[in-house]
Amino acid sequence: MLPAMASMTVGPTTGVVITGGASGIGEASAIALAEVGRPIAIWDLDGDKAEGVARSLKERFDVATVAVQIDLTGSDAIEAALEVTHGELPSIGALVHAAGVVQVAPVDDLTEQSWSAVLDVNLRAHAFVVQSLLPDLCRNAGSAVVGIASIDAMLGHGAIPAYCASKAGLLGLTRSLADHLAPHGVRVNAVCPGYVETPMLELALSVPGLRQNLERQTLLGRLARPEEVGRVVRFLLSDEASYVTATELVVDGGVVSSQR
Ligand SMILES: NC(=O)c1ccc[n+]([C@@H]2O[C@H](COP(=O)([O-])OP(=O)(O)OC[C@H]3O[C@@H](n4cnc5c(N)ncnc54)[C@H](O)[C@@H]3O)[C@@H](O)[C@H]2O)c1
């Protein structure tokens, strides 16, 4: 490891499971964490992209990696994913739940199917992945969990009520998990990104004028780069954040603040 990198390494060297790690914020978190030497498991619906990211991390940072294709809409695949992960990463001490989906369906268009499609990935999966990782997290000192929520948890948006509900739910889940796991030495937090240039936002950004509209909502006058969220995730999983639990860190360039 380069000396500059070594000085950035604070605390646990255990493996990190990153759901949604094949793209956007999950991938950026994987890069930030591999950069400080943490072994990485990429769990993603897109198996090919997950393989590509895992391979690239191994080549760039010389860390152990594993890619697992998994559909987090169901809980039955989690145990199998964990078994494969343990094969490459015997010691797991962190989770980043970055897998997420959004569907435009205002309340008049909502169906039970569209509601579940969003809630199952964004919220339900977080609870059950944490459940499956409990023995690992509790065994390893300095373990921590980060769920990627959103400023939509606080602001809400008429076009995407299921998404906003899933993200607000994630904040409640975060505090509940933090309460339960604190006696076991496990910290649990959420990150609330604002508008980040990832494939998820790509479609919206193709609407004329939307980019400028979103940029105007920020104090910094621009959208976020995924790595600007990834570095915050890395901080929350490090010992630098040893007294931070049961809270959310807003990474939005000032959107929420400017709306107060
Ligand atoms: N991009 C933004 O502006 C923004 C803002 C706030 C919060 N977020 C949140 O950040 C997280 C990451 O989003 P992103 O912007 O990087 O999007 P992205 O689309 O680039 O990445 C999401 C990843 O989740 C994976 N995924 C989706 N459904 C899955 C499933 N059923 N099982 C397993 N994996 C699945 C996708 O394959 C993809 O790799 C999401 O939770 C999103 O809600 C994004």
pLDDT at 3 over 90: no
Choose the catalytic residue: 72, 163, 245, 248: 163
Residue 67's contacts (CB-CB under 8 Å, 6 or more residues apart) are 22, 41, 42, 44, 47, 50, 51, 53, 54, 55
138-151 pLDDT tens trace: 999 999 999 999 99
- CA-to-CA distance for 252 and 150, rounded, in angstroms? 9
CA 133, 18, 28: angle at the middle one, nearest 5?
A: 155
> Domain tally for the chain?
1
Residue 200 CA to ligand 1 center (angstroms) comes to: 6
CATH code of the domain in which 158 resides: 3.40.50.720
8 Å CB contact between 70 and 85: no
Residue 66 located in a structural domain: yes
Residue 257 lies in a domain: no
Question: Is 81 within the bounds of a domain?
Answer: yes
Q: Convert 77-96 to b/e letters by CB count within 10 Å (16 or more is b).
A: ebeebbebbeebbeebbbbb
User: What pTM value is reported for the model?
Assistant: 0.96
**64 found inside a domain:** yes
How far is residue 234's CA from residue 33's CA, in Å, rounded to a whole number?
6
pLDDT band, very low/low/confident/very high, at 76 (cuts 50, 70, 90) = confident
User: For residue 40, what are its two tokens?
Assistant: 């990485």
- Ligand 1 atom, smallest distance to 163 CA: 43
Tell me how far apart the alpha carbons of residues 111 and 106 are, in angstroms, rounded to a whole number: 10
Q: Is the CB of 70 under 6 A from ligand 1?
A: yes
Contact 150, 198 (CB under 8 A): no
Over the stretch 96-149, which tens digit does the pLDDT of each residue have?
999 999 999 999 999 999 999 999 999 999 999 999 999 999 999 999 999 999
- Is residue 188 classed as helix, strand or coil in its secondary structure? strand
Q: Which residues contact 28 (CB under 8 A, 6 or more apart)?
A: 225, 226, 227, 229, 230
Taking only the tens place, the pLDDT of each residue in 19-72 is 999 999 999 999 999 999 999 999 999 999 999 999 999 999 999 999 999 999
Q: How far is the CA of 7 from the centre of ligand 1 (A)?
A: 30
CB distance 162 to ligand 1 below 6 Å: no
Would residue 205 count as lying in a domain?
no
Q: Let me know if residue 233 belongs to a domain.
A: yes
For residue 195 and ligand 1, the question of a CB distance below 6 A is answered with yes
Q: Tell me the C-alpha distance between 101 and 122, whole Å.
A: 7
Ligand 1 centroid vs 79 CA: distance in angstroms?
A: 21
Residue 99 domain boundaries:
3-196+225-252
Q: Is residue 258 part of a domain?
A: no
Burial class (CB in 10 A: 0-12, 13-18, 19+), 260: exposed
**Is residue 136, in this structure, part of any structural domain at all?**
yes
